[in-house]
Amino acid sequence: MPANLMSKKVMKALAAEAAGVAGSQGNARVKEVAERVLYRMMQVIDECDVSMDEFWAAVGFIAKTAKNGEFGLMVPGVAIEHFLDLRLDEAERLAGIEGGTMRTIEGPLYVAGAPLTKGEARMDDGTDPGEVFIISGQVRGEDGNPIAGAVVDLWHANSKGGYSFIDGEQAAYNLRRRIETDSEGRYTARTIVPNGYGCPPESATRELMNMLGRHAERPAHVHYFVTAPGYRQLTTQINFTGDKYLHTDFAFGTRDELIVTLDRVTDPRRIAEAGLNKPFARTTFDIVLTRERAQAPRTVVQREHVIAA
Ligand code: MBD
Ligand code: FE
């Protein structure tokens, strides 16, 4: 069939009717969004001359994504989770909120309820052959003053790129910890250097990336949620210089401000000072939180999270 067969008027009217726009019943917010989504779907079908076969293939693909529980993975893969961050950045800028650490996506692999300790934590259970990694930093406010009692909630993959709970191979909460900052606002995590994550071979998300001619890999990263009373919650990640996928993250999570360098410690004296017996990696990541204020866009996201038993 030719493209652009339909008049805008016909499509608009049909979308409005399907979304119940004329009536007073139902949920006004759902109607408002549904009308636009339906109109745009019709436009895409008409502009691209989407065949009925193609349309039902797409429905099947979405159904498979849902059946696999993969929407949390697909959403960052098509840049929409990053887009939500860009919108929030812009809203904060307009509200005059500036100077905090850059945010980036949460992703689908957070597990709530990780063990909480004060000042420092060991995140790995000692079974991962990965390189020992020490991350430390200070949490401060916009005024530069340290924030004692902030909670730094960290999670990351193992040296195979797998996350505990999700991969079913690791002890509960391995590589997931909450650290309360000390009196100087400092936190220290001893862990192992993570590997990047790749979408599962049979996943719909990888299938989509293949169809788009993109890869389905993330660079190595460590996720952060940082909270403190009176401050705006921060969701972020760090990445490492030199990573093969640093600037082509399939999930669009890399931001220049969040790239840190892994410092390789090989000097025997420094190794001994750290209480270790072999070379290790370390990095520093300081965090600035902005003050919570009235009428600011929310940074706390209501989202379903699993809790490991
Ligand atoms: C991850 O580890 C992740 O952080 C994201 C955003 C998507 C897939 C895997
Ligand atoms: Fe991740």
Q: What percent of the chain has pLDDT over 90?
A: 98
Which residues are near ligand 1 (CB < 6 Å)? 73, 76, 105, 107-109, 197, 218, 251, 253
Ligand 1 atom closest to Cα of residue 237 = 4
Amino acid at 70: E
What's the token pair of residue 239?
């990445």
The whole-number average pLDDT for the span 285-307 is: 94
Which ligand lies nearest to the CA atom of residue 250 in the structure?
A: 1
For residue 108, give Cα distances in angstroms to 116, 225, 244.
21, 13, 22
Which ligand lies nearest to the CA atom of residue 197 in the structure?
A: 1
309 CA from centroid of ligand 1 (Å): 22
User: Beta strands 132-141 and 186-192: pairing type?
Assistant: antiparallel
Residue having the nearest C-alpha atom to atom 5 of ligand 1: 107
Ligand 1 atom closest to Cα of residue 163 = 2
Ligand 1 atom closest to Cα of residue 106 = 6
Confidence of residue 306 (pLDDT cuts 50, 70, 90): confident
- Give the gyration radius of the chain's Cα atoms: 23
What's the token pair of residue 135?
């991350």
pLDDT at 309: 66
Pocket perturbation via mutation, ligand 1, pick of 218, 222, 239, 248 by most ligand atoms within 8 A of CB: 218
In terms of DSSP H, where are the helices of the chain?
8-18, 28-47, 52-67, 71-77, 80-94, 204-211, 268-273
Q: Compute the distance between CA of residue 161 and CA of residue 124 in angstroms, rounded to an integer.
A: 14
Residue having the nearest C-alpha atom to atom 1 of ligand 1: 107
The whole-number average pLDDT for the span 90-99 is: 97
pLDDT at 308: 81
209 CA from centroid of ligand 1 (Å): 14
Q: Classify residue 5 as left (phi > 0), alpha (psi -120 to 50) or beta.
A: alpha
Amino acid at 5: L
Q: Compute the distance between CA of residue 262 and CA of residue 255 in angstroms, rounded to an integer.
A: 17
Secondary structure class of 156 (helix, strand, coil): strand
Tell whether the torsion through CA atoms of 122, 247, 219 and 58 is positive or negative. Answer: positive
Which ligand lies nearest to the CA atom of residue 107 in the structure?
A: 1
Strand partners, 236: 224
Ligand 1 atom closest to Cα of residue 81 = 6
User: Beta strands 280-284 and 132-141: pairing type?
Assistant: parallel
Q: Which of 182, 127, 109, 128 is nearest to 152 (CA)?
A: 182
Q: Which of 293, 299, 290, 291 is nearest to 101 (CA)?
A: 290
pLDDT exceeds 90 at position 14: yes
- Diameter over CA atoms, the chain: 76
The whole-number average pLDDT for the span 67-96 is: 97
How confident is the model over 157-196, as pLDDT tens digits?
999 999 999 999 999 999 999 999 999 999 999 999 999 9
Residue having the nearest C-alpha atom to atom 8 of ligand 1: 73
157 CA from centroid of ligand 2 (Å): 7
The whole-number average pLDDT for the span 274-292 is: 97
Residues with CB under 5 A from ligand 2 (ion): 107
174 CA from centroid of ligand 1 (Å): 17
The whole-number average pLDDT for the span 188-209 is: 98
Upper half-sphere CA count for residue 258 (Cβ side, 13 Å)? 24
**Averaged pLDDT of the chain:** 97
175 CA from centroid of ligand 2 (Å): 11
How confident is the model over 242-260, as pLDDT tens digits?
999 999 999 999 999 999 9
Cα angle 57-59-61, degrees, rounded to a multiple of 5: 70
Q: Compute the distance between CA of residue 16 and CA of residue 32 in angstroms, rounded to an integer.
A: 9
Domains within the chain, CATH numbers bracketed: 1-50 (no CATH), 74-307 (2.60.130.10)
72 CA from centroid of ligand 1 (Å): 9
For residue 288, give Cα distances in angstroms to 20, 21, 82, 141, 146.
46, 45, 20, 5, 9
* Residue 99 DSSP code: S
